Amino acid sequence: MASYDKLKQRRREDYGYILDYRTRWYDSVVNTYLMEHCNLAPSSSDQRGVVVHSHSDYFASISFPAVAQLALRVNKLGKSSVTYEIALFEQGADEVRAVGEFVHVFVKRRDGRPATSGMSDEMRRGLERILVPGARNNKL
């Protein structure tokens, strides 16, 4: 195996086969929900979500060519932040394979700072639809 420094210098042309493949599962389910239910337009909305924390606990693997399914809920909703929980399942199986947490802070696009009023009302309403009953909905 090549040294770390040599590996770090690799470029696409160093490989004989390249496959474009989207596997960004956690952020994909979050951003798809925001676009479909909270009116988020990633390239033009006044606010954008910045990921400030992410982690995952893995319990079991999914083998190729199985299809992954992602489940999303909101565990905490703050003034400008939201804590999501994402579960990873294999299509057709009930056993959870991984559970992750993903925290967004919504900031103004123009300066990267949270708005004093917090996230937009439309964003909040959309996120409240998947807020876990009894979870913190803290607007402070």
Residue 15 lies in a domain: no
Residue 59 lies in a domain: yes
Residue 122 lies in a domain: yes
Residue 50 lies in a domain: yes
Q: Which of 16-25, 28-37, 45-54, 114-123 has the lowest mean pLDDT?
A: 16-25
In this structure, are strands 96-108 and 81-90 parallel, antiparallel, or unpaired?
Answer: antiparallel
Residue 6 lies in a domain: no
Q: What is the CATH number of the domain that holds 86?
A: 3.10.129.10
Residue 123 lies in a domain: yes
- 6 confidence band (pLDDT: 50, 70, 90): confident
* pLDDT at 119 (0 to 100): 95
What distance in Å separates the CA atoms of residue 109 and residue 49, rounded to the nearest whole number? 9
Q: State the residue range of the domain holding 41.
A: 23-137
| Distance, CA of 117 to chain centre | 23
- Element (DSSP H or E) covering residue 86: strand 81-90
Residue 12 lies in a domain: no
* Amino acid letter, residue 109: R
- 26 confidence band (pLDDT: 50, 70, 90): confident
What's the number of domains the chain is made of?
1
Q: Taking a C-beta distance cutoff of 8 angstroms, is the pair 80, 92 a contact?
A: no
- 17 confidence band (pLDDT: 50, 70, 90): confident
pTM: 0.80
In this structure, are strands 68-77 and 131-137 parallel, antiparallel, or unpaired?
Answer: parallel
Residue 101 lies in a domain: yes
